[in-house]
């Protein structure tokens, strides 16, 4: 967790002069867009993605698939049913699968979805595919994917550290079959193997052997999206063994999918209503979803807000009071930075648990949140698997972001009600939400 010296730009986080009252069109989900791209690329026929997220992570995914021979055409879609102001609204991507091939080079940036979901795809390609990315990508764990692919028949050259850079020597097909992995450091290991599983000769049976498994909703998202394009998937929830997922080999259908708004990226806007005692409406909030951000309805209600799903979307209202919370965030780890920011402004202490794996995210998020909130006068301590947050009167200062989009949005939440907060490198939000500064000032009516 080091400050990136290349980023000296400081964004004065706007303060809310009154309770916010806004409707915010949140762009599409990163997790849905990147799964949809992979599945469409592996399908037996062309498919459509409507209102895809266009951000660093999804453009890296699209670029990587193109490098392996997949056609991805960007069009402005007239049939997009929902009007919206967000990035990517009204756009559609047509994905035309083709024989996957190397040689190719893939830049994963710092996208967990790209670095984990694509090596199994590369094992199906004909030719070598080289993977590399940002310096942080060399530190994020990939051993679950590398070891599993080797056990399933792939040839991979790496430096033995269980992370990038590496080359997958695709042989045009992969045998597949049963494999055991420890996915306690990232659910994306499981998702990665399941997504390509229908295309392995024997399909795949993934058995998680570790003691904990984070981000279960993201695994459910993988399973739901696989089933929706014709894959047969057996899961612990559908009567299978605990911690075992089985995907039957078979062709995937091309489909027409409209991407839901990114509910984890809705978080800072809902938080704005909570910390200013205002109201924010997020249109197109899905009535049923596997996105972990849906859990915010419960968490932010416990922290003092209230919400209602209406035909206008999710209407979230702050009460003027912010309460601390004691919560296990293991299933929804990516919500931790935003919850920590709100907790630092609450009227009682909070304990956030179950998120030790956040030390291996975009940055060490537990260390980064502790340091940055404390430098504004806060009182945060790290525990073995989370944070204790005792609210204190905060003051202005520089909020460093460590190339982490969710650190930047967490700092912006605090800056709404604390004078003089400056966010270093707010542009890092482009990883999943390139429009963030404009959406934020738009919400404040500026």
Ligand X SMILES: O=C(O)C1=C[C@@H](OP(=O)(O)O)[C@@H](O)[C@H](O)C1
Using CB under 6 A as the binding rule, whether residue 405 contacts ligand X is answered as no
Using CB under 6 A as the binding rule, whether residue 102 contacts ligand X is answered as no
CA separation for the pair 57, 42 (Å, rounded): 19
Using CB under 6 A as the binding rule, whether residue 370 contacts ligand X is answered as no
What DSSP letter does each residue of 74-100 carry, written as one string? EEE-S---S---STTTTEEEEEE----
- Flag whether 56 is marked binding: no
Instruction: Locate 66 and state its tokens.
Output: 């193109």
Nearest to 143 by CA among 195, 200, 184, 199: 184
The residue from 220, 357, 365, 400 that contacts ligand X (CB under 6 A) is 357
What DSSP letter does each residue of 251-265 carry, written as one string? PPPP-EEEPPB-TTT
191 binds, among ligand PEP, ligand X, none (CB under 5 to 8 A by kind): ligand X
Give me the least distance between CB of 334 and ligand PEP, in Å please. 4
Residue 17: Cβ-neighbour burial (10 angstroms; 0-12, 13-18, 19+): exposed
Total residues in contact with ligand PEP, by rule CB under 6 A: 8
Nearest to 385 by CA among 263, 242, 211, 135: 211
Query: Do residues 174 and 201 touch, judged by C-beta distance below 8 A?
Result: yes
* Residue 260 annotated as catalytic: no
Using CB under 6 A as the binding rule, whether residue 215 contacts ligand X is answered as yes
Nearest to 133 by CA among 61, 53, 54: 61
Residue 176: Cβ-neighbour burial (10 angstroms; 0-12, 13-18, 19+): buried
Q: Which is nearer to ligand X, 191 or 289 (CB)?
A: 191
Q: Are strands 204-208 and 233-234 parallel, antiparallel or unpaired?
A: unpaired
Give me the least distance between CB of 268 and ligand PEP, in Å please. 13
What DSSP letter does each residue of 406-431 carry, written as one string? HHHHHHHHHHHHSTTEEEETGGGGGG
- Flag whether 215 is marked binding: yes
- Binding region for ligand X (CB under 6 A) out of 210-218, 345-353, 375-383, 418-426: 210-218
Instruction: Locate 205 and state its tokens.
Output: 């049976």
Q: Considering 260, 334, 372, 424, which one is annotated as catalytic?
A: 334
The residue from 37, 154, 406, 421 that contacts ligand PEP (CB under 6 A) is 406
406 binds, among ligand X, ligand PEP, none (CB under 5 to 8 A by kind): ligand PEP
| Alpha carbon distances (Å) from 30 to 33, 36, 82, 85, 431 | 5, 10, 18, 17, 9
Using CB under 6 A as the binding rule, whether residue 265 contacts ligand X is answered as no
User: Binding string to ligand PEP for residues 427 to 446, with x set by CB under 6 A, is what?
Assistant: -----x--------------
Q: Which is nearer to ligand X, 6 or 384 (CB)?
A: 384
Nearest to 352 by CA among 375, 372, 335, 377: 335
Instruction: Locate 307 and state its tokens.
Output: 């919400």
The residue from 38, 67, 111, 387 that contacts ligand PEP (CB under 6 A) is 111
- Binding region for ligand X (CB under 6 A) out of 187-195, 252-260, 338-346, 389-397: 187-195
Using CB under 6 A as the binding rule, whether residue 35 contacts ligand PEP is answered as no
- Flag whether 393 is marked binding: no
- Flag whether 31 is marked binding: yes
Helices (H), 287-443: 296-302, 336-343, 365-375, 405-417, 436-443
Using CB under 6 A as the binding rule, whether residue 113 contacts ligand PEP is answered as yes
- Flag whether 365 is marked binding: yes
User: Binding string to ligand PEP for residues 319 to 348, with x set by CB under 6 A, is what?
Assistant: ---------------x--------------
Total residues in contact with ligand X, by rule CB under 6 A: 13
Range 28-67, binding ligand X (CB under 6 A): 31
Using CB under 6 A as the binding rule, whether residue 361 contacts ligand PEP is answered as yes
Query: Do residues 156 and 168 touch, judged by C-beta distance below 8 A?
Result: yes
- Flag whether 371 is marked binding: no
Q: Which is nearer to ligand X, 57 or 158 (CB)?
A: 57
CA separation for the pair 350, 254 (Å, rounded): 46
Give me the least distance between CB of 432 and ligand X, in Å please. 8
Give me the least distance between CB of 333 and ligand X, in Å please. 5
Is the N-terminal amide bond of 103 cis, ω within 30° of 0? yes
Which active-site residues does the annotation give?
Answer: 334
- Which residues are documented as binding site for phosphoenolpyruvate? 30, 112, 140, 188, 365, 406, 431
Residues in contact with ligand PEP by the rule CB under 6 A: 111-113, 334, 361-362, 406, 432
């Amino acid at each position: 967790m080091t400050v990136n010296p290349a980023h000296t730009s400081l964004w004065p986080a706007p303060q809310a002069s009154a309770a916010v009252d806004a409707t915010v069109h949140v762009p599409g989900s990163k997790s849905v867009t990147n799964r949809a791209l992979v599945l469409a690329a592996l399908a037996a026929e062309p498919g459509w993605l409507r209102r895809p997220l266009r951000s660093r992570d999804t453009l890296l995914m699209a670029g990587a698939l193109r490098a392996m021979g997949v056609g991805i055409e960007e069009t402005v879609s007239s049939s997009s049913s929902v009007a919206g102001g967000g990035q990517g609204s009204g756009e559609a991507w047509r994905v035309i699968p083709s024989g996957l091939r190397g040689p190719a080079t893939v830049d994963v940036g710092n996208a967990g979805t790209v670095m984990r979901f694509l090596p199994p795809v590369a094992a199906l390609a004909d030719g070598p595919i080289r993977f590399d990315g940002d310096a942080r990508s060399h530190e994020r764990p990939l051993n679950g994917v590398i070891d599993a692919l080797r056990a399933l028949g792939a040839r991979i050259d790496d430096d033995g550290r269980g992370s990038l850079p590496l080359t997958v020597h695709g042989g045009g097909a992969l045998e597949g079959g049963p494999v055991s992995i420890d996915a306690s450091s990232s659910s994306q290991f499981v998702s990665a193997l399941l997504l390509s599983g229908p295309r392995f000769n024997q399909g795949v049976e993934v058995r998680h052997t570790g003691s904990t498994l984070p981000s279960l909703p993201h695994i459910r998202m993988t399973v739901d999206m696989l089933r929706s394009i014709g894959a047969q998937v057996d899961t612990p929830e559908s009567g299978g063994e605990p911690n075992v997922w089985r995907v039957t080999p078979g062709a995937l259908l091309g489909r027409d999918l409209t991407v839901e708004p990114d509910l984890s990226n809705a978080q800072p806007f809902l938080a704005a209503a909570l910390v200013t005692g205002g109201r924010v409406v997020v249109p197109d909030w899905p009535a049923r979803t596997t996105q972990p951000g849906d859990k915010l309805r419960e968490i932010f209600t416990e922290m003092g807000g209230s919400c209602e799903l209406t035909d206008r979307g999710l209407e979230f209202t702050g009460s003027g009071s912010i309460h601390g919370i004691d919560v296990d965030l293991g299933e929804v780890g990516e919500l931790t930075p935003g919850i920590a920011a709100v907790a630092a402004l609450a009227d009682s202490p909070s304990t956030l648990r179950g998120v030790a794996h956040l030390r291996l995210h975009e940055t060490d998020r537990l260390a980064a949140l502790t340091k940055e909130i404390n430098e504004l006068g806060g009182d945060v301590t790290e525990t073995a698997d989370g944070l204790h947050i005792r609210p204190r009167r905060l003051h202005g200062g520089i909020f460093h972001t460590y190339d982490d989009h969710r650190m930047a949005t967490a700092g912006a939440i605090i800056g709404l009600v604390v004078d003089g907060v400056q966010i270093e490198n707010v542009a890092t939000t482009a990883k999943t939400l390139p429009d963030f500064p404009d959406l934020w000032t738009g919400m404040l009516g500026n």
